[in-house]
Every structure is written in C-alpha cells, then in structure tokens.
C-alpha cells in the first residue's frame, strides 16, 4: 500500500475553472517527487488538497489508507500536525522570533518546553540558522526566511513534507541549497512532494517528476538517482 | 480501487497531560496580558464601557437591597383614620370604634375626642388666638386604626368600606404609609434593575464581541499559520476567550470602583435624609459576595462576547 494515493481526483472551483482533472497517482513512503507545470497547471491545488486546505469535487485521496477528503474538522488538526508544509512566501509570523516561529507546531502539539528547545535548536542547526534564533524574520534574507519556514515544517519530524514553490523567490545558488535540504529529509525517510516550475533545477535532482497541464497529469517520469547532484553538506 | 476502510487511525487524537494543559493556559494568559497591555488605550476604553454597563444595574440592585432592608426597619404600619360627623352621637361613635376593634386585622384603635383634637391642635399649631375667636370647636372626633403586621391592602380597604358605611362617619382616610411607599419603590427599582440589567448585559456582550473581533482581525495571519500547523479549533479560539474574560473582569473592577465612588458621593446627603426620618445609614449589600458576583458576571459576559465574535469570525477561517 502506498503512503499517498490519489484516485481520480478532480477539483472544479466555484467560478467553473478546472483545478485538477481525474488525477490518479501513488506516492511510496520515503519517496521524493516533483510536481511541475506552467502557472495554473494545478500544482498548488494538488498540494492544497493533500493538506486538506480545500476539498476535491470528485475522487479520493488516501493517506496511510485513510480517505482524508472526508476527515471531520475535529480530526483535521491532528492530520495536519503530522504534515510539514513550506510555501514560497514563508508565512512566518513577523512579530515572533525565529525560535518562536519554529516552535509553533510543537507548542500546538503540546510538547514540553525542554523538548521544544531541543527540537527547535536541532531543526535550526539543520538549516544553518542556529545563531539567528533570537532574531525577528524581518532581519533575515529571503533565503534565510525560507530556511526558517523549512525548519518550522520539519521540527515536528513529519512523515510527509510538502513544499509549494519553495525556491520561487531565490537565486539559483540558494535554490540549489534549499533543494539539497529537502533531499536530506528525503534521505532520512520523509516523503517529500515539491511543486516547482523550475524544470532545470528539478531535473538535476534525479527524483520522480509529475507534469501537470491545465489540471491534468500529462507526464510521470520516474527518478534517476544517477542524475542527482552530490548532496551538499548543509 | 480505493481503500479507506478498516485502517487503524494513523493520526490518533493526542491526550495532553495536565502539565501540558496548564502550560498552554499559562502561555495563552501571558500572551493575552501582553496583547492587552500593548493596546492599553483600547483596553481601558473597553473596560470603561463594560464597567459602566455593569455598574448601573449593579447599583440598582444595591439600591433595591437597601430599600427592602429599610422598609423592614420602618416603624410605620398601614392604617386608617376615621373622621366622625360633628353631630355624631357618642353611641354612634362608640359603635364604629367597637366594630373596628373587633376586626382581626386591627391591632389597636385610638380614639381622639373633639376636645382632645382641639387641645392637640392648639399645642402643635400655636393658633390659640385664632381658635379663641371661634364659637364652636371645628375639629371632629376621630379614630385611628393600626393594622396588625402582615396585613394586606385588601384588609385595609375592607376596613375602610366598613367604616364608610356607618352613618356617624364623615370621612375615612386610608393611610399609605412609608412602608407601602418604600415597598412600591423597591418593586419599581427591582423591575428597573432587571430591565436595565438585561439591556446593559447585551451591551457589555456586544462591546466585548466587537473588541475581540478587532483582536481576531489583528491576528488573522497568525491564526492561519496556526491552523496550517495543526492547531485545533479550541486552540485557535482559546486566546480570544481569554481576551473576553480579561475585558469582562476589568469591566467588573471598573464597575466596583464606580459604585464605590457613587456611594462616597451620596453618603453624606443620604445620611442627612435618613436622619430626618429617624433612620441610620447602614448600607447593605456592598460586600465581598457582591464584588465576587460583579467580577463573575463581568467575566462571563466577556467570555460570551468572545464566543460570539469567535463563532462569527473563526467559523469559516480559511487557512491560506
């Protein structure tokens, strides 16, 4: 049984636009997959449905065998606590420090302060921002803010990590650094799904690539580990 | 084929220990205090509005309690005075007095003859010279009946009818004593208090709801992120219930201060007024129980307002 299964998932928005059309795809536990396609192809809709930020018009999405499209609101929170999500515009809280931003999922999950401190520092260390834990996000560069977003997504050690255009605002070098971070999480067994339109970058990662166009799945290329760039030591 | 049945729950609901719950409440109350103190001007305004809304019905409640106590201490009792015709015979007068005394509602009947009435009038009014010019005594004989404790207005009216039917009687004056007046005033104050209480409670809830809604709007981005990382609806709502409770408790404090201030201001004239009726000022009701109730009602109304705002604004909150 795959960890994530899309079964003929379609999404039609209120304005009649088709976000996704009959998508069927499986994702194995610990796999790394890129969703690519032009703007409006359905990449973000795909991730939003998986995060249960929206509901599909038709079809089923199974995660660990549970149809998450029918999860009641009260269990939705617990489902989301087991996912990590990274967005292009970070969604950091500007009036909270880097430490507090990263600690947010742990506080929500009711961790003890001692464990929160340990986990937050481990996550910040992993993204290379341990020295900046006391700063507010506005004092960080865009790349650093994205790393804080990644640290917040992985601090709870999710089994599934989703990222929507995480390198959208970054230069090529920073983009590669960020992608290597995701690859590190994939290598320790986390299922990673990244939406990105940067075909050159994702091709170089040697991972599976699903191509979407106008909401439909038009390509599914398995990964070639030989193409992957050497892992950076972040 | 989709499979969604008979699968063990992969995301079981976490049972937080008492320590985690306590830490959570402590953190939220600290955050709330920080938020409230960072917007002190707005918070003071809300406290003042809620305080005024609480102070008016609470003040009326105190007034009602004191009026009720006052009426219990009053010496006067309901009664009636019967004035006889100037040419009424002694037999006729005695018959009326006897009939009144025989009534179970009557405690005592005091008869005042025409001569005694004249003597008392002279001694009180100081009109000796004027009265000496008259040929006859113009004052009628009278009898005053005092009713037993607990008598009703119906008893009083029955006695008045009985006396009026007698041929020797010229006039019957039913005395609405201070007791009755105070009782009536107490009843009015009580009803006014309930009415204003309901109106101002709704006002306090709306003021708090509006303030909490503003607080929600100011933190929408944070709430969306919280929802994204898996905060439950209870966790999202919790800080705002604290806001409501803080605003309500602050309002209770302001109300207590306003009532204290009012009592200080009216203490002297009230003492003088009651003194003129032979009463001592002993304000009842403004005690720790009253203050506790004031704070509890304030807190509850605040939480109610916060729940209203949270239901309106957070019910359909979209994550991103």
Q: Hey, what domains does chain B have and what are their CATH numbers?
A: 24-73+181-314 (no CATH), 79-175 (3.30.70.3040)
Residue partners of A49: CB distance under 8 A and separation at least 6: A9, A11, A20, A55, A56, A61, A69
Decide if A4 is inside a domain. no
A97 located within any domain? yes
Q: Which residues contact A217 (CB under 8 A, 6 or more apart)?
A: A23, A24, A25, A210, A211
User: Are the beta carbons of A82 and B230 separated by less than 8 Å?
Assistant: yes
- Quick check: B246 and B32 in contact, CB under 8 A? yes
B-chain residues near A107 (CB < 8 A): 24, 27
Return the closest-CA partner of residue A8 out of A67, A48, A59, A42. Answer: A59
User: A117: burial class by Cβ within 10 Å (0-12, 13-18, 19+)?
Assistant: middle
Residues A179 and A129 in one domain: no
User: End of a domain among A102, A127, A157?
Assistant: A157
A209 and A107 within one domain: no
Asked if residue A35 and residue A97 are part of one domain, the reply reads no
Whole-number Å distance between alpha carbons of A41 and A124: 33
d(CA A155, CA A86): 12
Do A76 and A182 lie in one domain? The reply is yes
Residue A134, domain extent: 92-157
User: A167 with A219, same domain?
Assistant: yes
Give SS3 for A155. Answer: coil
The pLDDT score that the predictor gives to residue B5 is 47
Task: Specify the 3-state DSSP secondary structure of B189.
Answer: helix
Binary contact (A109, B12; C-beta < 8 A): no
Mean pLDDT, residues A24-45: 92
Q: Which of A120, A140, A157 represents a domain boundary (last residue)?
A: A157
Residues A205 and A99 in one domain: no
B10: nearest CB among A53, A64, A91? A64
Instruction: Mention every residue, 6+ apart, whose C-beta is less than 8 A from residue B267.
Output: B281
Asked whether residue A20 is assigned to any structural domain, the reply reads: no
CA distances for B132 relative to B42, B86, B120, angstroms? 77, 19, 14
Domain endpoint, select from A157, A181, A212:
A157
Identify whether A204 is part of a domain. yes
Tell me: the pLDDT tens digits for B205-234?
999 999 889 888 888 888 888 888 888 888
* A73 and A184 together in one domain: yes
Tally of domains in chain A: 2
The neighbouring-strand residues paired with A10 are A58
Contact flag A107-B27 (C-beta cutoff 8 Å): yes
Is the predicted pLDDT of residue A16 greater than 60, yes or no? yes
A106 and A144 within one domain: yes
Give the residue with greater pLDDT, B177 vs A179: A179
Check: CB of residue A223 under 8 Å from CB of residue A206: yes
CA B69 to chain centroid, in Å, comes to: 13
Residues with Cβ within 8 Å of A192's Cβ and at least 6 positions away in sequence, in order, are A31, A32, A33, A160, A161, A162, A163, A182, A183, A185, A186
CATH assignment of the domain containing A42: 3.40.50.300
A50 and A163 fall within a common domain: yes
Is the separation of the CB atoms in B69 and B198 below 8 Å? Answer: no
Closest CA to B286 of B257, B319, B250: B257
Each residue of A136-164: pLDDT tens digit?
999 999 889 999 999 999 999 999 999 99
Same domain for A32 and A73, yes or no, is yes
Q: What percent of chain A has pLDDT over 70?
A: 95
Is residue A203 located within the same domain as residue A110? no
- A110 close contact with B: CB closer than 8 A: yes
Whether residue A178 sits in one domain with residue A119: no
Give the whole-angstrom CA distance, residue B10 versus residue A78: 10
- Nearest CB to B225: which of A53, A67, A104? A104
Residues 6+ apart with CB under 8 A from B124: none
Whether A121 shows a pLDDT value over 50: the answer reads yes
pLDDT of residue A234: 34
Residue A171 in domain = yes
Which residue does chain A place closest to B222, by CA atoms? A93
């Amino acid at each position: 049984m795959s960890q994530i299964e899309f079964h003929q998932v379609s999404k039609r928005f209120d304005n009649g636009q088709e976000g996704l059309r009959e998508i069927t795809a499986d994702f194995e536990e610990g796999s790394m997959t890129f969703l690519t396609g032009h703007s409006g192809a359905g990449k973000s809709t795909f991730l939003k449905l998986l995060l249960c930020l929206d509901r599909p018009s038709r079809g089923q999405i199974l995660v660990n065998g549970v149809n998450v499209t029918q999860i009641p609101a009260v269990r939705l929170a617990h489902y989301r606590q087991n996912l990590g999500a990274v967005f292009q515009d970070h969604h950091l809280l500007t009036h909270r420090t880097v430490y507090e931003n990263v600690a947010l999922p742990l506080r929500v999950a009711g961790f003890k302060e001692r464990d929160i401190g340990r986990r937050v520092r481990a996550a910040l260390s992993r993204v290379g921002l341990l020295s900046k834990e006391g700063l507010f996000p506005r004092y960080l560069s865009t790349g650093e803010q994205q790393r804080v977003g990644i640290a917040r997504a992985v601090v709870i050690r999710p089994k599934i990590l989703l990222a929507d255009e995480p390198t959208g605002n970054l230069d090529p070098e920073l983009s590669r650094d960020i992608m290597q971070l995701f690859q590190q999480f994939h290598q320790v067994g986390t299922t990673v799904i990244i939406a990105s339109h940067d075909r050159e970058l994702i091709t170089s990662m040697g991972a599976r690539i699903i191509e979407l166009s106008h909401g439909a799945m038009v390509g599914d290329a398995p990964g070639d580990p030989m193409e992957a760039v050497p892992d950076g030591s972040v | 084929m989709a499979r969604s049945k008979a699968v063990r729950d992969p995301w079981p609901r976490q049972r937080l220990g008492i320590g985690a719950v306590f830490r959570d409440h402590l953190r939220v109350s600290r955050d709330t205090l920080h938020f409230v103190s960072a917007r002190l001007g707005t918070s003071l305004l809300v406290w003042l509005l809620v305080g005024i809304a609480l102070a008016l019905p609470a003040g009326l409640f105190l007034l009602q309690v004191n009026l009720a106590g006052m009426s219990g201490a009053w010496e006067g009792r309901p009664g009636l005075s019967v004035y006889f015709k100037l040419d009424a015979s002694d037999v006729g007068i005695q018959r009326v007095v006897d009939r009144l005394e025989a009534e179970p509602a009557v405690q005592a009947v005091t008869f005042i003859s025409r001569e005694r009435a004249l003597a008392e009038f002279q001694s009180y009014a100081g009109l000796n010279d004027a009265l000496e010019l008259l040929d006859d005594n113009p004052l009628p004989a009278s009898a005053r009946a005092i009713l037993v404790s607990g008598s009703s207005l119906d008893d009083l009216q029955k006695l008045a009818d009985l006396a009026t039917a007698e041929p020797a009687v010229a006039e019957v004056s039913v005395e609405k004593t201070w007791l009755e007046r105070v009782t009536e005033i107490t009843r009015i104050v009580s009803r006014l208090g309930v009415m204003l209480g309901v109106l101002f409670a709704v006002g306090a809830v709306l003021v708090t709801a509006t303030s909490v809604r503003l607080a929600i709007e100011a933190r929408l981005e944070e709430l969306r992120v919280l929802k994204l990382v898996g905060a439950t609806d209870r966790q999202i709502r919790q800080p705002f219930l604290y806001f409501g409770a803080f605003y309500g408790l602050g309002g209770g404090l302001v109300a207590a201060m306003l009532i204290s201030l009012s009592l200080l201001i009216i203490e002297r004239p009230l003492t003088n007024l009651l003194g003129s009726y032979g009463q001592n000022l002993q304000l009842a009701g403004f005690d720790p129980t009253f203050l506790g109730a004031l704070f509890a009602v304030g807190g509850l109304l605040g939480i109610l307002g916060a729940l209203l705002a949270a239901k309106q604004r957070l019910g359909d909150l979209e994550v991103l």
